[in-house]
A and B are shown apart, each in its own frame.
Chain A
Amino acid sequence: MTDALWYFARGSGVVALVLLTVVVVLGIGARSGRPAFGLPRFAVSLVHRNAALLAVVFLVGHVIGLLFDPYAQLRFFDVVVPFVGNYRPVWQGFGTLGLDLLAAIVITSLLRHRLGVRAWRAVHWLAYLCWPVALLHGLGNGADRGTWWLWATSLTCAAAVTAAIGWRLSATFDRFPARAERRVAPRLRPHLEEASR
C-alpha cells in the first residue's frame, strides 16, 4: 500500500505530459484561426482549455503523491523553488520550473478578462518553454527513465509538438495571409516596395 503513492505519482506524471502535448498542439490549432483536427474553432479552443485544466489535476496528483510518498521525500519548498532538490536536483528542478510556469500560464488565463490581451499573451508564450522543460523532467528524473515505453511516449509527444510548431512557422499558417498586406495603406505600398529593394 505504501507503494501506491509512488506508482500513482509516476503514472500521473506521464498522463500529464501526454495531456500537455494535446494542449500545446490544440493551442497552436486555436491560434491558426480555422477549424482544426475535425473540430470547429470554438471547440478547438474549449478542448484546449479543458485538456489544460485536466493536466493541472493530474499534476496536482503527481506533486501531492510525491510530497506524501515516504520514498521520494519531497520537501514542500521543492514544489516551488527549482534546482535545490536532494535527488537529481537539475532534472527535478525542471519539473519544479515547469510547474511554476504552468501555474503562471493557467492563472493568467483564468484572469485574462481582467488582465487584458497583451499581458495574457506575453505570459502564454511561456508555454513554449514550459512544455520542453516538462519533457526533459520526465526523461531525466522519472524512475521509468530509459524504459522503452517512456521513450516511445516522449518521442511521440515530441514529434506531435514539433510538427505543430513547424505548421505554426509555415507561411500558410495564417487563416487570412493577405491581411498582412492590407495592414499597409495602398498609397504607401509603392514606398514600401522601394524601401525593400
Chain B
Amino acid sequence: MTRLHIDWTLCDGRGLCTELLEEMLAEDDWGFPLARDGSAEPAVPAPLENAAAHAVSRCPMLALRLVGRTS
C-alpha cells in the first residue's frame, strides 16, 4: 500500500498538492494540507497514484514523498 508522507519541516503551505489531490487533501486555514481521512500519512488509493506522483513532483518545497510502495 502506497502512503503519502508530508514532511512538515519542509511544507510551506503553497497548496499545489491540495489542487492535484483534492480527493485526499484539504487546505487548512493557513494553506497547509490536511488528509481528509484524518491520518498523518494517508493511504493513496490505486486510482489516485498517478495524481499523487504529480503532487510529489510539483511540490515546490519537496515536502512530499510516496512511501511503502511494494510493487
Residues of A within 8 A of B (CB): 30-31, 33, 40-42, 45-46, 112-113, 116-117, 120, 175-176, 179
Which of A33, A120, A179 contacts B15, CB < 8 Å? A33
B62 and A42 within 8 A (CB): no
Q: Indicate the size class of the contact surface on chain B.
A: 10 to 19
A45 and B31 within 8 A (CB): no
Residues of B within 8 A of A (CB): 10, 12-16, 19-20, 30-31, 54, 57-58, 60-62
Provide 10 A-B residue pairs closer than 8 Å at the C-beta atoms, listed in order of the A residue: A30-B60, A33-B13, A33-B15, A41-B15, A41-B19, A45-B16, A112-B62, A120-B62, A175-B14, A175-B31
B31 and A41 within 8 A (CB): no
Nearest A-chain residue to B15, judged by Cβ: A41
Q: Report how far A72 CA is from B19 CA in the complex, Å.
A: 48
A176 and B13 within 8 A (CB): yes
* Residues from chain B with Cβ under 8 Å of A117 in the complex: 10, 61-62
Nearest B-chain residue to A44, judged by Cβ: B16
